[in-house]
Structure 1
Amino acid sequence: MNNNFNNDDWNSQSQYNFNYDNQGYYKEIVVQPRKKRGGRFITYLSLVLVTSLVTSFAVGGVMYSNFSRQLDSQVNSLKQAAVTQTSSDGGSSPTKLSTATDNVKATNLFSTGTGELTVAQIAKKVGPSIVGIKMSVPNTRQSPFYSSRSSTSDSEGSGIIFTEDGYIITNYHVVQYADPKNGAANTALTVYLPDKREAKAKFIGGDSENDLAVIKIDLTNLPAAELGDSSEVEVGDPAVAIGNPLGMEFAGSVTYGVISALNRQLKTGDNSLTLIQTDAAINPGNSGGALVNKKGQVIGINSAKISVEGIEGLGFAIPMNTAKPIVDQLKTYGYVKGKPLIGISAQEVTAEISRMYDLPVGVYISEVTQGGAAEAAGIQKGDVLVKLDVSKIESMADLDAVKKNHKAGDTVSAVVSRDGKEVTLSITFSEDK
């Protein structure tokens, strides 16, 4: 059995393109479906986490999407409609897409019934609660010809003030390198308020699985946003997005549209999120900003968009009813209580990797956390996890699916492959703090 493989081997054999910036930081994964018969071109699809990158490398990151069948159908139909038609003189001209929202936007998006606001009124109500967030990450470059050089790389996103004493909701990917567990102790967070004030912020807690984080500034009497009930949202309802596209240069930008769909299942990395879809324009820098209903209540946290040439109006937000319980725990404890933790670092063994390295398909254990649940159960570096709680494990997504069905303190069986033999162990999940 040959367990000697490196990340370069691993990535080069994947079905995805792994792109890195000039600093060597992970930048994006682009899904590359196989070329279809009949000479059709390969289509590149990516789900972009909308953080504005101020310098050359992508701190916020870009992740690929694994669309649900329903979303696949919508994207394909949009692409089909965008195919150019041959004009009568032999040239070609693009087909103009017309949607029901064109007529709505041409008149008045919002009615003026009881409790309902115009776009201008929503902007005045919610705008003061939307802040800009800059994350500054220190870098040190080593050179054989010069002494080490230090620099700082910045990324910008948005946030929502939700308490008068300075607690702010944002996306985890906006502030992830300020999380102490990511090892960037000198990472600085700066918050820019609509009234032109600036304040240093402290990282309170984050949940990478749900892409949510809470930070805090030491100011009082701040305008807290009114949080709404996302379960009351219906497809076709008007929606307003407020944030900082492309960073602070366009701070407080307001775009409007409708709720395009609910309960969209999108996969980002190893996590699957249930999101609200909207055609309100969402761009890099809008991450962590507000998606607002016609009453001026925040019903979603803008997080991502579909990035496909020729496709627009596919933005996504985390529903407030999903975010609020998580945010409350992050504010109180700094983490989400009861989440199970195994205590491993791992990589997937695909069918192709399995053939190359004579390993079973599963999850390869590259590191075991000292004092963690995996170490206590007897799991070792170099093991391949093939089964957990009677479920077959072929990917990190399979592993996460099992964990979501359990809480800290639960005990399950685990089967690992070690030196060509299967070993059955018992593992008790610890708490992920």
Structure 2
Amino acid sequence: MDDNKIKDVKWESVEANTGGIKFSNNRKKTRLKSLVKGVSFILIAAVSGGISGAYISNKKYSNKGYTQLNQSLIEPKNQNNQTKIADTSKNSITKVAEIVGPTVVGISNKAEGYFGLHDVGSGSGIIFDPNGYIVTNNHVVESAAKITVKFSSGKVLPAKLVKADSRSDLAIIKVEAQNLPTAKFGDSSKVKVGDTAVAIGNPLGEEFSGSVTAGIVSALNRKIQYNGAVYKVLQTDAAISPGNSGGPLCNDVGEVIGINSLKLGADQNAEGMGFAISINEAKDIIKSLMNYGKVSRPFLGIYGQSVVLQENKVQGVYINEVVPESGAAAAGIKPTDVIIELDNKKILRFEDLSDVLDKHKIGDSIVCKVWRNGKTIEVNIVLSDEKEKNK
């Protein structure tokens, strides 16, 4: 062989050996594939195990609200609900203020003094007729030489007293204006304890005009005796100051459910006890004052006070005064008599008289028992009109 052929043979030998090298490379690839398959299997097994564990764990504890996972999901939801509730409450009060606010006025009572007219009191009022008619408390405008009204816009107008009813502590005044915004009167018979109560008025004078306070209705049909009269009122813990008198107490939709009138607290160390005349009672009085100029009520014809005579074991209403030409006077009732029964109902307090009279009308004749000088006397009293109590 020549050298070239020898080289060719060697090359062929190398080619043959190369076949061995190629075989060696295939084994490495096979090992690599096996490794990849193994790792993939492990990963799949791990993932499957994790999913299965999570499913079992979730299945086992899904009803347990105390787990950390559930707490993290529940608490933000509750917080959002609380925020929504707070926003709803806030928005409802805001809407009430926007609806009713323009119908509330500040009232200034001026009287003659050494140096001319001067302020003697202030209060609030509610526009109920677009032609300038405003309802307020009688004590706000009583004995006023001049009355001025300030609107929510800041405009001030003089007003005149139309009619007043001292027993209910309500009065109607009028300004010369037209197309005024008016408040909507609601139905106080539908009011429940715990309902939202919003008071709007001018506490402590004009510098605090349009103040809004909110609370709840604390009690219904409270009977408050004040200056010889018995008031049936709503009780609320909404802050009511002296200047709020005559202003509205509203429900959460902007309807007037009461007219703020009385407040206990300053002299009795009581807080959160405001009172408003229920609007259903006020509506009848307003209607009577507008139509007839007075409020007609059945009247016994006496003035008195609750009393307990320990030595005689007698409890009832002690008569201080008998009104001339009244039913009581005609029946022979005298001062110092004690009313112990009226219309077959025992009388223990002055308020009990109103409970009986509210069920009757002018002209009714009712049986009255009085204690006089150790004896019980029975008489019939014809109920008269309470003319002397109207102005």
In which range does the TM-score fall when normalised by the shorter chain?
A: 0.5 to 0.7
Of the three residues 156, 164, 185, the one matched with 2:130 is 164
Assess, with a 3 A threshold, how the Cα gap between structure 1 residues 154 and 394 changes in structure 2: closer, same or farther.
same
Assess, with a 3 A threshold, how the Cα gap between structure 1 residues 417 and 279 changes in structure 2: closer, same or farther.
closer
Q: Which residue of 1 aligns with 2:224?
A: 267
- The structural deviation recorded for 1:306 is 4.5
- The structural deviation recorded for 1:394 is 3.9
Assess, with a 3 A threshold, how the Cα gap between structure 1 residues 350 and 174 changes in structure 2: closer, same or farther.
farther
Q: Which has the higher helix share?
A: 2
The yes-or-no answer on 1:242 pairing with 2:188 is: no
- The structural deviation recorded for 1:321 is 2.9
Of the three residues 133, 145, 154, the one matched with 2:107 is 133
The yes-or-no answer on 1:328 pairing with 2:287 is: yes
The yes-or-no answer on 1:302 pairing with 2:268 is: no
The CA distance in 2 between the partners of 1:247 and 1:380, in whole Å, is 45
Q: Which residue of 2 aligns with 1:253?
A: 211
Alignment of 1:221-236 (within 5 A): 221-233=179-191
The CA distance in 2 between the partners of 1:104 and 1:212, in whole Å, is 41
Task: Calculate percent identity across the aligned residue pairs.
Answer: 43
Q: Which residue of 2 aligns with 1:201?
A: 160
Please tell me the residue identity of whatever aligns with 2:104. I
Alignment of 1:28-427 (within 5 A): 107-110=86-89, 118-136=92-110, 154-175=120-141, 177-178=142-143, 187-194=145-152, 195-206=154-165, 208=167, 210-233=168-191, 237-257=195-215, 259-263=216-220, 265-269=222-226, 273-307=231-265, 312-337=271-296, 339-351=297-309, 355=311, 361-427=315-381
- On the 8 A contact 2:298/2:361 being kept in 1, the answer is yes
Q: Which runs of 5+ in 2 are unaligned?
A: 1-81
Assess, with a 3 A threshold, how the Cα gap between structure 1 residues 332 and 361 changes in structure 2: closer, same or farther.
same
3-state secondary structure, aligned to 1:380: coil
Please tell me the residue identity of whatever aligns with 1:154. V
- On the 8 A contact 2:108/2:119 being kept in 1, the answer is no
The CA distance in 1 between the partners of 2:276 and 2:363, in whole Å, is 32
Assess, with a 3 A threshold, how the Cα gap between structure 1 residues 373 and 153 changes in structure 2: closer, same or farther.
farther
- On the 8 A contact 1:349/1:359 being kept in 2, the answer is no
Aligned residues: 303
For the pair shown, the structure with the greater C-alpha radius of gyration is 2
TM-score after normalising by structure 1: 0.60
Q: Which runs of 5+ in 1 are unaligned?
A: 1-102, 112-116, 141-148, 179-185
- On the 8 A contact 1:205/1:331 being kept in 2, the answer is no
- The structural deviation recorded for 1:377 is 1.6
TM-score after normalising by structure 2: 0.65
3-state secondary structure, aligned to 1:294: coil
Assess, with a 3 A threshold, how the Cα gap between structure 1 residues 164 and 276 changes in structure 2: closer, same or farther.
same
- The structural deviation recorded for 1:235 is 5.1
Kindly provide the CA deviation profile for residues 259-281 of structure 1, in whole angstroms up to 9, marking residues without a partner as x.
34452524333655554444433
- The structural deviation recorded for 1:203 is 4.0
